[in-house]
């Protein structure tokens, strides 16, 4: 009986620890996933126009992180100067980014496309981002958005 009583809190603590974004300060040079390729870095402001023609594969972009999944660090958002949001998910769910990355410039390599996000999916991400119930309830229709699947993210030095 004592073993069972000891095991229950242990299992809860393991579950709680696994559902957190990775710890860390997101310092310049920190790499999450594979190291991005720095051959040709595209500013995030240029991405919407490039995607009007076709999806893009194996590209490297640079932009400022505006949000990170507070539950696990499993997605981040970037924003262009005209307020276009770019949803970034990690390839194969293979790595996570600390919430300390919010407000920092990052360089990432991956694939970009325009995708229609369902109402349910948008609400899920709004809940992850700890939006208010009013903001979540205001989501009532699917929307096209830019999606980036990152194979690696580096906190930029400038």
pLDDT at residue 38 in the model: 86
d(C-alpha 106, C-alpha 112), whole Å: 16
Q: Is position 13 within any domain?
A: no
How far is it, in rounded angstroms, from Cα 151 to Cα 155? 14
Q: Which residue has the tokens 């970037």?
A: 78
CA dist 19 and 71 (Å) reads 6
pLDDT band with cut points at 50, 70 and 90 for residue 130 = confident
The answer to whether residue 10 is domain-embedded is no
pLDDT of 11 strictly over 60: no
Is 8 a member of any domain? no
| Residue 133 pLDDT | 95
Residue 94 lies in a domain: yes
* Number of domains the chain is built from: 1
Domain at 98, CATH number: 2.40.50
64 inside domain: yes
Mean pLDDT for the stretch of residues 34-47: 93
> Where would I find the beta strands (DSSP E) of 2-142?
31-33, 41-43, 56-68, 75-79, 85-90, 105-117
Instruction: For residue 143, give the H/E element and its range.
Output: strand 143-155
The answer to whether residue 15 sits within a structural domain is no
Range of the domain at 33: 21-155
In a domain, 100, yes or no: yes
Residue 4 in domain: no
Average pLDDT (88-113) is 96
- When the pLDDT of each residue in the chain is averaged and rounded to a whole number, the result is 88
pLDDT over 90, % of the chain? 71
> Is the pLDDT at 7 greater than 70, yes or no?
no
């Amino acid at each position: 009986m004592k073993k069972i009583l000891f095991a229950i809190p242990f299992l809860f603590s393991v579950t709680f620890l696994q559902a957190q974004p990775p710890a860390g300060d997101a310092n310049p040079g920190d790499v999450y996933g594979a190291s991005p390729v720095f051959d040709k870095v595209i500013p995030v402001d240029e991405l919407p126009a490039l995607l009007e023609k076709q999806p893009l594969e194996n590209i490297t972009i640079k932009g400022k992180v505006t949000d990170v999944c507070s539950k696990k660090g499993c997605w981040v958002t970037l924003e262009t100067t005209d307020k276009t949001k770019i949803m970034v998910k990690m390839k194969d769910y293979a790595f996570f980014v600390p919430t300390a990355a919010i407000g920092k410039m990052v360089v990432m390599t991956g694939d970009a496309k325009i995708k229609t996000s369902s109402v349910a999916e948008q609400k899920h991400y709004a809940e992850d981002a700890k939006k208010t119930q009013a903001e979540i309830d205001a989501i009532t229709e699917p929307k096209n958005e830019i999606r980036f699947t990152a194979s690696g993210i580096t906190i930029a030095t400038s």
